[in-house]
Amino acid sequence: MNETADATTSPEALRATMLAKVQQQGYAKLPEVARVISEVPRHEFVPEASLADAHNPWQAVITHRFADGTSLSCASAPFVVALMLDQLAVERGNKILEIGAGTGYNASLLAELSGNEANVVTIDVDPDVTEQATRNLAATGYSGIHVVTGDGALGVPEHAPFDRIIATVSPWDIPRAWWRQLVPGGKLVVPLRWRGQSRSVGFTYRDGLLIADSIELCGFVYLVGDDEGEKSAPITDDGTIRLHWDRDQPVDLEALRGVLDRPRSTAWSDVTIAGDEPHDGIWLRLTVTDPRVCRLNVPADTAPSVCDPISPGRAPALVEDSSLAYLTSRRRDEDDSTRWELGAVAHGPAADELARHLCDEIRAWSMHRDDRKPTLVAYAADTPDSALPGPPIDKTHSRLVLAYEIE
């Protein structure tokens, strides 16, 4: 806790500083989004946090946890709040559904953007969370917002239809109820998961399709009960290193058991990045170009001789039968500036091919870096292959088709 900041800096000044830092990074682009973030007292929705923590632009404030200690509810980091509100592009008078009530802070921002508290509905499955949100909203003068305890995957049909739907929890799929409760031309912003990674996707609902307008990196607490689509299992005898994949991917766990004990093949791409330069676009690209991409989770204390991914907690990996490759990096010093070269480590019979292929993908990404985003369209699950413009990622309620436009 920063007691000095709490004692000498007003919440208004801290909000102004918080907003300035968020805007410097390219968020809160819309004037109305900047306005409501500057006006709504964020600290009053997280009274257990210090003023400094409440206004940290990059820090979420955890307010509720599962019994095992994992977070269940939080006030999202201000930059994420701004990012998603930019994507949502609320207009005055819009009716809005929020999935995941959290502290009530986001609902208050939505009410300000809509101009009418009664237009905002927020739902959460946990009664402790909705009680907290109700209490915070009442204390800050937003008692007209509808707070509902229930399954967010079902939406809130009694208040539908909605002009805007925003999910502040991360689903593996887009529940069919959300499609039905969104008006034609309406917008949905959702931290959607596919191929092991999560992206905040801004969709517009048009002609029965959800067409992405924007795709941004983010991470959220998972939607409760929405875990049947992403699979996870250890690939080492001690159970510490795990693979995560989607259920439509043909992963053979028995074939992969002990794969990291097999001879290692390493390849380097000659592509370098600075220490603070993003590389997540490689993963996004792989979800478009390679159906074999999964996620590898490696404990931070794992010896590099065992497994050396670019990011221990989560790194893209390619799986083919009994072979696996993952993204790695090594430090290079050039012209007195430190840079990291991107490469691939692979194990198994197809190690050499997988490592070379991953390096090819790194080089292809490097031509555009993160400036080039794919198109993403969600089709209903019963859409036949013949009506799809490309190979899908199949989920329960939807079929995702990602592609790069031909230049």
Q: What is the pLDDT along the chain (407 residues), one digit of tens a residue?
A: 344 444 458 999 999 999 999 999 999 999 999 999 999 999 999 998 999 999 999 988 876 554 544 445 578 899 999 999 999 999 999 999 999 999 999 999 999 999 999 999 999 999 999 999 999 999 999 999 999 999 999 999 999 999 999 999 889 999 999 999 999 999 999 999 999 999 999 999 999 999 999 999 887 666 555 567 899 999 999 999 999 999 999 999 999 999 999 999 999 999 999 988 889 999 999 999 999 999 999 999 999 999 999 998 889 999 999 999 999 999 987 655 689 999 999 999 999 999 999 999 999 999 988 778 899 999 999 999 999 999 999 999 999 999 998 65
Only one residue has tokens 């053979």, namely 252
Residues ≥6 apart with Cβ < 8 Å to 131: none
Which H or E run includes 255?
helix 253-256
Assigned token pair, 8: 């000498």
Residues in the chain: 407
Half-sphere exposure of 170 (CA within 13 A, CB side): 21
The answer to whether residue 76 is catalytic is yes
What's the pLDDT score for residue 220? Answer: 63
What's the pLDDT score for residue 226? Answer: 56
What's the pLDDT score for residue 338? Answer: 83
Q: Domains of the chain: which residue ranges?
A: 3-217, 230-371
Give the separation between CA 52 and CA 5, rounded to whole angstroms. Answer: 6
Assigned token pair, 281: 């676009």
Distances, alpha carbon 370 to alpha carbons 215, 234, 303, in Å: 11, 31, 30
What's the pLDDT score for residue 5? Answer: 45
Give the separation between CA 127 and CA 139, rounded to whole angstroms. Answer: 18
Give the separation between CA 132 and CA 103, rounded to whole angstroms. Answer: 6
Spot the catalytic one: 38, 71, 76, 198: 76
What's the pLDDT score for residue 65? Answer: 52
- CATH fold for domain 3-217: Rossmann fold (3.40.50)
Give the separation between CA 130 and CA 110, rounded to whole angstroms. Answer: 16
Give the separation between CA 87 and CA 90, rounded to whole angstroms. Answer: 9
Whole-structure pTM over 0.75, yes or no? yes
Radius of gyration of the chain (CA): 22
Whether the CB-CB separation of 90 and 32 falls below 8 Å is answered with: yes
